[in-house]
Protein backbone atom coordinates (compact mmCIF):
# COMPACT_ATOMS: atom_id res chain seq x y z
CA UNK A 1 0.00 0.00 0.00
CA UNK A 2 1.41 3.41 -0.95
CA UNK A 3 0.86 6.62 0.92
CA UNK A 4 -1.24 9.31 -0.68
CA UNK A 5 0.93 12.12 -2.07
CA UNK A 6 1.21 15.13 0.20
CA UNK A 7 0.32 18.58 -1.04
CA UNK A 8 3.71 20.24 -1.33
CA UNK A 9 3.26 22.59 -4.27
CA UNK A 10 2.31 26.02 -2.87
CA UNK A 11 -0.27 26.60 -5.59
CA UNK A 12 -1.88 23.22 -4.90
CA UNK A 13 -1.90 23.93 -1.16
CA UNK A 14 -3.48 27.33 -1.73
CA UNK A 15 -6.13 25.94 -4.06
CA UNK A 16 -7.02 23.20 -1.56
CA UNK A 17 -6.95 25.32 1.60
CA UNK A 18 -10.02 25.93 3.72
CA UNK A 19 -8.71 29.41 4.56
CA UNK A 20 -6.71 31.61 2.19
CA UNK A 21 -4.89 34.92 2.42
CA UNK A 22 -3.80 36.71 -0.73
CA UNK A 23 -1.20 39.34 0.13
CA UNK A 24 -0.45 41.93 -2.55
CA UNK A 25 3.12 43.06 -2.06
CA UNK A 26 2.82 45.48 -4.99
CA UNK A 27 -0.01 47.25 -3.16
CA UNK A 28 2.12 47.29 -0.01
CA UNK A 29 5.01 48.90 -1.88
CA UNK A 30 2.68 51.40 -3.54
CA UNK A 31 1.19 52.32 -0.16
CA UNK A 32 4.67 52.98 1.21
CA UNK A 33 5.42 55.24 -1.77
CA UNK A 34 2.15 57.09 -1.15
CA UNK A 35 3.05 57.65 2.51
CA UNK A 36 6.52 58.78 1.46
CA UNK A 37 4.94 61.34 -0.86
CA UNK A 38 2.64 62.55 1.92
CA UNK A 39 5.61 62.83 4.27
CA UNK A 40 7.03 65.64 2.16
CA UNK A 41 10.64 66.46 3.01
CA UNK A 42 10.80 63.89 5.80
CA UNK A 43 12.27 60.45 5.18
CA UNK A 44 9.78 57.62 5.48
CA UNK A 45 10.36 54.49 7.50
CA UNK A 46 8.16 51.41 7.87
CA UNK A 47 6.71 49.78 10.96
CA UNK A 48 6.81 45.98 10.60
CA UNK A 49 6.23 44.87 14.19
CA UNK A 50 3.82 42.04 15.01
CA UNK A 51 5.03 40.06 11.97
CA UNK A 52 4.33 43.04 9.69
CA UNK A 53 0.83 43.43 11.17
CA UNK A 54 0.16 39.74 10.66
CA UNK A 55 1.18 39.56 7.00
CA UNK A 56 4.71 38.15 7.31
CA UNK A 57 7.78 40.20 8.18
CA UNK A 58 9.99 38.34 5.72
CA UNK A 59 7.97 39.03 2.56
CA UNK A 60 6.62 42.41 3.67
CA UNK A 61 10.01 43.60 4.90
CA UNK A 62 11.72 42.64 1.67
CA UNK A 63 9.02 44.34 -0.44
CA UNK A 64 9.26 47.54 1.60
CA UNK A 65 13.06 47.50 1.42
CA UNK A 66 12.92 47.11 -2.36
CA UNK A 67 10.41 49.98 -2.51
CA UNK A 68 12.97 52.23 -0.83
CA UNK A 69 12.43 51.99 2.94
CA UNK A 70 15.69 52.18 4.87
CA UNK A 71 14.39 52.76 8.39
CA UNK A 72 12.33 49.99 9.99
CA UNK A 73 10.66 49.68 13.38
CA UNK A 74 10.09 46.38 15.16
CA UNK A 75 8.91 45.64 18.69
CA UNK A 76 11.39 42.92 19.71
CA UNK A 77 15.00 42.03 18.86
CA UNK A 78 13.87 38.69 17.45
CA UNK A 79 11.84 40.52 14.82
CA UNK A 80 14.84 42.66 13.99
CA UNK A 81 17.08 39.61 13.63
CA UNK A 82 14.65 38.10 11.12
CA UNK A 83 14.26 41.34 9.21
CA UNK A 84 18.02 41.87 8.93
CA UNK A 85 18.22 39.10 6.30
CA UNK A 86 15.78 41.01 4.08
CA UNK A 87 16.92 44.58 4.77
CA UNK A 88 20.69 44.22 4.85
CA UNK A 89 21.79 47.84 5.22
CA UNK A 90 18.68 49.36 6.81
CA UNK A 91 18.47 50.90 10.26
CA UNK A 92 16.26 48.64 12.35
CA UNK A 93 14.92 50.24 15.52
CA UNK A 94 13.73 48.04 18.40
CA UNK A 95 10.85 49.84 20.10
CA UNK A 96 10.92 47.79 23.29
CA UNK A 97 14.49 48.90 23.91
CA UNK A 98 17.08 46.64 25.48
CA UNK A 99 17.16 44.53 28.62
CA UNK A 100 19.81 42.21 30.09
CA UNK A 101 20.21 39.22 27.81
CA UNK A 102 19.20 41.14 24.67
CA UNK A 103 22.45 42.98 24.10
CA UNK A 104 24.17 40.21 22.13
CA UNK A 105 21.30 40.13 19.60
CA UNK A 106 21.38 43.93 19.37
CA UNK A 107 25.07 43.93 18.49
CA UNK A 108 25.09 40.76 16.37
CA UNK A 109 22.31 41.95 14.07
CA UNK A 110 23.21 45.64 14.18
CA UNK A 111 19.90 46.72 15.69
CA UNK A 112 19.18 50.13 17.20
CA UNK A 113 17.54 49.92 20.64
CA UNK A 114 15.05 52.64 21.51
CA UNK A 115 15.90 53.64 25.08
CA UNK A 116 12.68 54.49 26.93
CA UNK A 117 13.42 54.53 30.67
CA UNK A 118 16.04 55.37 33.27
CA UNK A 119 16.61 51.65 33.84
CA UNK A 120 17.26 51.02 30.16
CA UNK A 121 19.48 54.10 29.96
CA UNK A 122 21.65 52.91 32.84
CA UNK A 123 21.90 49.40 31.41
CA UNK A 124 22.72 50.68 27.92
CA UNK A 125 25.50 52.94 29.19
CA UNK A 126 27.08 50.03 31.03
CA UNK A 127 26.65 47.84 27.95
CA UNK A 128 28.43 50.17 25.55
CA UNK A 129 31.19 50.58 28.12
CA UNK A 130 31.79 46.82 27.76
CA UNK A 131 30.95 46.28 24.10
CA UNK A 132 32.01 49.60 22.58
CA UNK A 133 30.02 52.33 20.89
CA UNK A 134 26.76 51.39 19.22
CA UNK A 135 23.88 53.54 17.93
CA UNK A 136 20.69 53.94 19.93
CA UNK A 137 17.54 56.04 19.88
CA UNK A 138 15.75 57.82 22.70
CA UNK A 139 12.01 57.80 23.27
CA UNK A 140 10.45 60.62 25.27
CA UNK A 141 6.89 60.80 26.58
CA UNK A 142 5.10 63.96 25.42
CA UNK A 143 1.70 63.14 26.90
CA UNK A 144 0.84 59.57 25.94
CA UNK A 145 1.94 58.15 29.31
CA UNK A 146 3.13 54.92 27.81
CA UNK A 147 6.84 54.40 27.05
CA UNK A 148 9.43 57.15 27.20
CA UNK A 149 11.55 59.26 29.50
CA UNK A 150 9.66 62.11 31.16
CA UNK A 151 10.27 65.36 29.30
CA UNK A 152 12.14 66.97 32.21
CA UNK A 153 14.58 64.06 32.47
CA UNK A 154 15.15 64.07 28.71
CA UNK A 155 15.90 67.81 28.72
CA UNK A 156 18.33 67.35 31.61
CA UNK A 157 20.03 64.55 29.69
CA UNK A 158 20.34 66.76 26.61
CA UNK A 159 22.12 69.49 28.59
CA UNK A 160 24.24 67.18 30.75
CA UNK A 161 27.84 67.99 29.85
CA UNK A 162 29.00 64.93 31.80
CA UNK A 163 26.94 62.60 29.61
CA UNK A 164 29.22 59.85 28.26
CA UNK A 165 30.25 60.37 24.66
CA UNK A 166 29.29 56.75 24.04
CA UNK A 167 25.63 57.72 24.57
CA UNK A 168 24.85 59.59 21.40
CA UNK A 169 21.34 58.86 20.11
CA UNK A 170 20.80 58.81 16.36
CA UNK A 171 17.10 59.56 16.76
CA UNK A 172 14.69 60.99 19.30
CA UNK A 173 11.08 59.97 19.00
CA UNK A 174 7.71 60.26 20.66
CA UNK A 175 4.21 59.05 19.86
CA UNK A 176 0.96 60.93 19.34
CA UNK A 177 -2.00 59.85 21.46
CA UNK A 178 -4.85 61.31 19.38
CA UNK A 179 -3.51 61.60 15.85
CA UNK A 180 -6.52 59.71 14.48
CA UNK A 181 -8.65 62.69 15.57
CA UNK A 182 -7.33 65.80 13.81
CA UNK A 183 -9.56 68.05 15.94
CA UNK A 184 -8.00 66.93 19.21
CA UNK A 185 -6.03 69.72 20.96
CA UNK A 186 -3.74 66.99 22.27
CA UNK A 187 -2.03 66.81 18.88
CA UNK A 188 -0.73 70.36 18.91
CA UNK A 189 0.25 70.15 22.58
CA UNK A 190 2.35 67.10 21.91
CA UNK A 191 3.83 68.58 18.74
CA UNK A 192 4.90 71.77 20.53
CA UNK A 193 6.40 69.75 23.39
CA UNK A 194 8.30 67.65 20.88
CA UNK A 195 9.63 70.77 19.17
CA UNK A 196 11.09 71.83 22.51
CA UNK A 197 12.70 68.42 22.84
CA UNK A 198 14.04 68.46 19.28
CA UNK A 199 15.63 71.86 19.86
CA UNK A 200 17.36 70.54 23.00
CA UNK A 201 18.85 67.64 21.03
CA UNK A 202 20.14 69.86 18.25
CA UNK A 203 21.50 67.92 15.31
CA UNK A 204 19.74 64.67 16.25
CA UNK A 205 17.05 63.40 13.90
CA UNK A 206 13.49 63.56 15.25
CA UNK A 207 10.41 61.41 14.62
CA UNK A 208 6.90 62.03 15.95
CA UNK A 209 4.38 60.73 13.42
CA UNK A 210 3.12 57.25 12.67
CA UNK A 211 0.47 56.75 9.96
CA UNK A 212 -2.20 59.03 11.41
CA UNK A 213 0.28 61.76 12.27
CA UNK A 214 1.41 61.97 8.67
CA UNK A 215 -2.09 63.12 7.70
CA UNK A 216 -1.91 65.98 10.24
CA UNK A 217 0.47 67.83 7.94
CA UNK A 218 4.09 68.99 7.65
CA UNK A 219 4.32 70.42 11.17
CA UNK A 220 4.18 66.87 12.48
CA UNK A 221 6.62 65.24 10.06
CA UNK A 222 10.01 66.34 11.45
CA UNK A 223 12.89 64.28 9.98
CA UNK A 224 11.43 60.78 9.81
CA UNK A 225 7.89 59.41 9.68
CA UNK A 226 6.88 55.93 10.82
CA UNK A 227 3.86 54.65 8.84
CA UNK A 228 2.40 51.37 9.96
CA UNK A 229 -1.27 50.52 9.50
CA UNK A 230 -1.67 52.68 6.37
CA UNK A 231 0.93 50.53 4.62
CA UNK A 232 -1.26 47.48 5.07
CA UNK A 233 -4.39 48.94 3.52
CA UNK A 234 -6.40 50.08 6.53
CA UNK A 235 -7.55 53.49 7.73
CA UNK A 236 -5.34 55.27 10.24
CA UNK A 237 -7.16 58.54 10.77
CA UNK A 238 -10.44 60.41 10.37
CA UNK A 239 -8.46 62.91 8.30
CA UNK A 240 -7.26 60.20 5.94
CA UNK A 241 -9.15 60.87 2.69
CA UNK A 242 -9.47 57.18 1.86
CA UNK A 243 -7.91 53.87 2.73
CA UNK A 244 -4.69 53.02 0.95
CA UNK A 245 -4.77 50.17 -1.54
CA UNK A 246 -6.05 46.89 -0.07
CA UNK A 247 -3.13 44.59 0.64
CA UNK A 248 -4.75 41.45 2.01
CA UNK A 249 -7.79 39.45 0.96
CA UNK A 250 -9.09 36.76 3.31
CA UNK A 251 -11.29 33.95 2.01
CA UNK A 252 -12.95 30.91 3.55
CA UNK A 253 -14.22 27.78 1.85
CA UNK A 254 -17.95 27.06 1.87
CA UNK A 255 -18.25 23.65 3.50
CA UNK A 256 -21.95 23.08 2.98
CA UNK A 257 -25.10 24.66 1.58
CA UNK A 258 -28.16 23.88 3.64
CA UNK A 259 -31.82 24.74 3.57
CA UNK A 260 -33.61 25.82 6.74
CA UNK A 261 -37.26 26.62 7.32
CA UNK A 262 -38.90 29.71 8.78
CA UNK A 263 -39.04 29.49 12.57
CA UNK A 264 -35.93 27.34 12.89
CA UNK A 265 -32.95 28.54 14.92
CA UNK A 266 -29.35 29.24 13.94
CA UNK A 267 -26.10 28.30 15.75
CA UNK A 268 -25.21 28.25 19.46
CA UNK A 269 -27.72 29.59 21.91
CA UNK A 270 -30.54 29.51 19.32
CA UNK A 271 -30.32 33.31 19.39
CA UNK A 272 -31.63 33.84 15.86
CA UNK A 273 -34.93 32.55 14.54
CA UNK A 274 -35.41 32.55 10.78
CA UNK A 275 -38.24 34.73 9.55
CA UNK A 276 -38.36 32.98 6.15
CA UNK A 277 -37.29 29.80 4.46
CA UNK A 278 -33.56 30.32 4.00
CA UNK A 279 -30.47 29.08 2.21
CA UNK A 280 -27.36 29.06 4.36
CA UNK A 281 -23.66 28.75 3.51
CA UNK A 282 -21.47 27.23 6.23
CA UNK A 283 -17.93 28.64 5.91
CA UNK A 284 -14.71 27.25 7.37
CA UNK A 285 -13.73 30.26 9.48
CA UNK A 286 -14.28 31.21 13.09
CA UNK A 287 -12.88 33.11 16.01
CA UNK A 288 -9.83 30.79 16.13
CA UNK A 289 -8.91 32.43 12.81
CA UNK A 290 -9.36 35.99 14.00
CA UNK A 291 -12.88 36.22 12.59
CA UNK A 292 -14.10 37.65 15.85
CA UNK A 293 -17.16 36.39 17.71
CA UNK A 294 -18.34 40.01 17.88
CA UNK A 295 -18.91 39.82 14.11
CA UNK A 296 -21.83 37.46 14.75
CA UNK A 297 -25.17 38.38 13.28
CA UNK A 298 -26.98 37.70 16.55
CA UNK A 299 -26.46 36.55 20.11
CA UNK A 300 -23.53 38.70 21.23
CA UNK A 301 -23.64 41.82 23.35
CA UNK A 302 -22.60 44.14 20.52
CA UNK A 303 -25.66 43.22 18.47
CA UNK A 304 -27.90 44.43 21.27
CA UNK A 305 -26.99 47.93 20.13
CA UNK A 306 -28.95 47.32 16.95
CA UNK A 307 -25.83 47.45 14.77
CA UNK A 308 -25.63 44.83 12.02
CA UNK A 309 -23.05 42.08 12.09
CA UNK A 310 -20.49 41.37 9.40
CA UNK A 311 -21.01 40.53 5.76
CA UNK A 312 -19.16 38.19 3.46
CA UNK A 313 -18.89 38.67 -0.30
CA UNK A 314 -19.69 35.92 -2.78
CA UNK A 315 -21.14 35.73 -6.27
CA UNK A 316 -20.97 39.50 -6.60
CA UNK A 317 -23.08 40.26 -3.51
CA UNK A 318 -22.71 40.98 0.19
CA UNK A 319 -24.28 38.29 2.35
CA UNK A 320 -24.81 38.66 6.11
CA UNK A 321 -23.50 36.54 8.97
CA UNK A 322 -26.41 34.92 10.84
CA UNK A 323 -26.27 33.48 14.34
CA UNK A 324 -23.18 33.22 16.49
CA UNK A 325 -19.75 32.74 14.98
CA UNK A 326 -18.12 29.60 16.41
CA UNK A 327 -14.51 28.53 16.78
CA UNK A 328 -14.17 27.05 13.29
CA UNK A 329 -17.33 27.96 11.39
CA UNK A 330 -19.52 30.90 10.40
CA UNK A 331 -22.97 30.83 8.81
CA UNK A 332 -23.86 33.23 6.01
CA UNK A 333 -27.38 33.83 4.68
CA UNK A 334 -27.31 33.44 0.87
CA UNK A 335 -31.09 33.30 0.41
CA UNK A 336 -31.16 36.41 -1.77
CA UNK A 337 -28.71 34.95 -4.30
CA UNK A 338 -30.08 32.99 -7.25
CA UNK A 339 -30.33 29.28 -6.51
CA UNK A 340 -27.25 27.39 -7.61
CA UNK A 341 -25.04 30.48 -7.61
CA UNK A 342 -23.04 29.24 -4.63
CA UNK A 343 -21.80 25.68 -4.33
CA UNK A 344 -20.02 23.80 -1.58
CA UNK A 345 -16.29 24.30 -2.18
CA UNK A 346 -16.63 27.91 -3.31
CA UNK A 347 -14.85 30.67 -1.42
CA UNK A 348 -16.40 33.61 0.38
CA UNK A 349 -14.45 36.83 0.89
CA UNK A 350 -14.21 37.89 4.53
CA UNK A 351 -12.41 41.14 3.78
CA UNK A 352 -10.37 42.47 0.90
CA UNK A 353 -11.05 44.31 -2.34
CA UNK A 354 -14.85 44.01 -2.01
CA UNK A 355 -15.26 44.36 1.74
CA UNK A 356 -12.80 46.84 3.31
CA UNK A 357 -11.12 45.54 6.42
CA UNK A 358 -12.20 48.67 8.31
CA UNK A 359 -15.84 47.89 7.54
CA UNK A 360 -15.41 44.44 9.08
CA UNK A 361 -13.53 45.87 12.05
CA UNK A 362 -16.31 48.41 12.65
CA UNK A 363 -18.87 45.61 12.68
CA UNK A 364 -16.83 43.93 15.42
CA UNK A 365 -16.51 47.14 17.43
CA UNK A 366 -12.76 47.22 16.91
CA UNK A 367 -10.11 48.54 14.51
CA UNK A 368 -8.27 47.23 11.47
CA UNK A 369 -5.10 46.79 13.53
CA UNK A 370 -6.74 44.07 15.62
CA UNK A 371 -8.26 42.33 12.62
CA UNK A 372 -4.88 42.07 10.88
CA UNK A 373 -2.70 41.17 13.85
CA UNK A 374 -5.27 38.64 15.08
CA UNK A 375 -5.21 36.46 11.97
CA UNK A 376 -4.84 32.83 13.01
CA UNK A 377 -2.34 30.22 11.87
CA UNK A 378 -4.61 28.23 9.58
CA UNK A 379 -4.61 30.52 6.55
CA UNK A 380 -2.67 29.34 3.53
CA UNK A 381 -0.88 32.35 2.08
CA UNK A 382 -0.18 33.44 -1.45
CA UNK A 383 2.01 36.47 -2.08
CA UNK A 384 1.65 38.60 -5.20
CA UNK A 385 5.18 39.79 -5.81
CA UNK A 386 6.00 43.46 -6.24
CA UNK A 387 7.61 44.58 -9.48
**What pLDDT does residue 62 have?**
98
What whole-number percentage of the chain has pLDDT above 70? 96
Any idea which fold 39-232 has?
A: TIM Barrel (3.20.20)
Angle between helices 185-200 and 151-159 (to 10 degrees): 20
- Which tens digits make up the pLDDT trace of 89-126? 999 999 999 999 999 999 999 999 999 999 999 999 99
- Which tens digits make up the pLDDT trace of 53-68? 999 999 999 999 999 9
- Which tens digits make up the pLDDT trace of 198-244? 999 999 999 999 999 999 999 999 999 999 999 999 988 876 666 67
What whole-number percentage of the chain has pLDDT above 90? 86
From 53, 131, 268, 291, the catalytic residue: 268
From 41, 49, 291, 379, the catalytic residue: 49
Within 13 Å of residue 69, how many CA atoms lie on the same side as its CB? 32
Active site residue 49: yes
pTM above 0.85, yes or no: yes
The set of residues, in sequence order, having a beta carbon less than 8 Å from that of 377 and lying 6+ positions away, is none
Active site residue 41: no
Q: pLDDT at residue 261 above 70? A: yes
The set of residues, in sequence order, having a beta carbon less than 8 Å from that of 212 and lying 6+ positions away, is 176, 179, 180, 236, 237, 239, 240
**What pLDDT does residue 375 have?**
94
Q: pLDDT at residue 265 above 70? A: yes
**The domain made up of 248-384 is a member of CATH 1.20.1070.10:** no
Q: What is the mean pLDDT of the chain?
A: 93
Strand 272-273 and strand 265-266: the pairing is: antiparallel
**What pLDDT does residue 305 have?**
80
**What pLDDT does residue 1 have?**
47
Listed by start position, the domains of the chain span 39-232, 248-384
- Which tens digits make up the pLDDT trace of 151-186? 999 999 998 877 777 678 999 999 999 999 999 999
**What H or E segment, with its residue span, contains residue 104?**
helix 103-108
Distance CA 121, CA 113 (A): 10
Amino acid sequence: MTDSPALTDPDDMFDAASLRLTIDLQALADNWRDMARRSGKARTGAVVKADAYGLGIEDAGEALYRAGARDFFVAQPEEGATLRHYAPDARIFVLSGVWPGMESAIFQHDLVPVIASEEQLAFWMSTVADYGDHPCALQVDTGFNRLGLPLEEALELASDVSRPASFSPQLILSHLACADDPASPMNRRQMETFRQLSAAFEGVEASLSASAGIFLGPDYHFDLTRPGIALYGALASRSQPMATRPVVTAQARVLQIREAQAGQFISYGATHSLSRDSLLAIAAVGYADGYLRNLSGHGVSLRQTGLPGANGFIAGRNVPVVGRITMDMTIFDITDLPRGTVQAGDYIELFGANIPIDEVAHAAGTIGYEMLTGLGLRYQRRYIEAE
